[in-house]
């Protein structure tokens, strides 16, 4: 897993360049937001179960057909699997928040996930909606924990959403 620093170093090393002003500014920004990122991770960790539970409830309230007979979250096993997946997305999004890099999402979660969901008949649109709901809840929790600017929370959740969504070929 790479973070913002190791990714920056790798990119400059590949082309054999010393850090330029952009690199220094990127490093400075990463370190300046470090405390907020750690505070965000602590807030998510302390409230992860509640976030997943509330996001799941909101999703099923918004899309009740998912929990009706024939729906993809119908039966206790499928419902639990949905919440388990939401917890995975939240945990790995938290790693990406701390690292300021979405690489961990690609390596550990997203590679082949859309194809897997399609082959299992798991609807992707509700999954994407669940991730969006979690993002909003996380932003609220992080703001309540005292982090003034929560914009950095968007990146990993938006990355998950973008990668899972259908893409024009």
Dump pLDDT digits (tens) for 65-95: 999 999 999 999 999 999 999 999 999 999 9
- 44's tokens: 């998510």
Segments in 100-165 forming alpha helices (H): 103-105, 113-120, 124-144, 154-164
DSSP 3: -
Residue in the block written with tokens 């979405």: 102
**Per-residue pLDDT at 106 exceeds 60:** yes
* All domains in the chain, ordered by first residue: 33-164 (1.10.490.20)
pTM: predicted TM-score of the whole model, two decimal places: 0.90
**Per-residue pLDDT at 167 exceeds 90:** no
């Amino acid at each position: 897993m790479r973070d913002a620093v190791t990714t920056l170093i790798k990119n400059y090393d590949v082309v054999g360049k010393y850090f330029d002003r952009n690199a220094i500014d990127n490093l400075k920004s990463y370190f300046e937001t470090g405390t907020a990122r750690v505070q965000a991770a602590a807030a998510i960790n302390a409230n992860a179960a509640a976030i997943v539970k509330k996001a799941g409830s909101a999703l099923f309230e918004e899309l009740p057909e998912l929990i009706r007979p024939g729906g993809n979250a119908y039966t206790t096993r499928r419902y639990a699997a949905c919440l388990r997946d939401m917890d995975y997305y939240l945990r790995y999004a938290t790693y990406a928040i701390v690292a300021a890099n979405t690489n961990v999402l690609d390596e550990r979660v997203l590679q082949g996930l859309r194809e897997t969901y399609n082959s299992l008949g798991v609807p992707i649109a509700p999954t994407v909606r669940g991730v969006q709901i979690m993002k909003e809840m996380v932003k609220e929790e992080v703001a309540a924990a005292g982090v003034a600017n929560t914009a950095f929370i968007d990146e990993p959740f938006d990355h998950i959403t973008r990668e899972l969504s259908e893409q024009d070929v």
